Amino acid sequence: MAALAWSVLLLCAAGALLSSASPLVVQPGQNISLTCNVTSSRKLTWYLLRSDQLLPLLTVKKTKLKSTSVNFHKDNSQMRSKGSLESGSVILEILQVEEEDTGIYFCSWSYAEKLCVNKGIHLSFPNPPDAPYPWHLAVRAGTVILYLIVMISIVVATWRKAHQIKRRETAGTRDELRVKEAIM
């Protein structure tokens, strides 16, 4: 039941993400920097929501050796990552923006076993005169974000349940050892 309530809450947050994305109008060929402020996390992923596609761009994560690794999900020499998880600010740089770079950019991370998603940035080029806003893009984007959030919430709920079961088994093993020690 708690997982269902958590999923509904995330679905509402996704709608807010779409409707509250900050607009950023740029010229083709311009270099831009997008910032994601992180409370505390071991892993952060930048996404691009474009038309009916949700594309993971890059993942920044802390390694066991306390360094940071950056994994680019697509081969794109136009993108760079700056900042760090330790500083609380991870910056996505896009060099020489092209038409295919337009869409809604957002980052996600987990904090205290909760999924966090930033407000989002709607990157676009100036509309030519008399060009209608592509409302269908917003509808598709909303559908993809809702799908992503539902899938992530299912994974998190499953992980939590497995973690609870493991804790119970560990506690049961400790109790059995105590009983055996008491008997001896």
pLDDT digits over 167-178, tens only?
Answer: 888 777 766 667
Distance, in Å, from the CA atom of 147 to the CA atom of 129, rounded to the nearest integer, reads 34
pTM of the model: 0.60
Query: How do the domains of the chain map onto residue ranges?
Result: 10-183
Report the relative pairing of strands 121-124 and 22-25 from DSSP bridges: parallel
Distance, in Å, from the CA atom of 103 to the CA atom of 97, rounded to the nearest integer, reads 11
pLDDT tens digits, one per residue of 55-84: 888 888 877 777 776 777 777 778 888 877
Average per-residue pLDDT for the chain? 77
- Phi, psi dihedral angles at 126 (to 5 degrees): -60, 140
Candidates 3.40.50.11400, 2.60.40.10, 1.10.8.60, 3.40.1190.10; correct CATH number of 10-183? 2.60.40.10
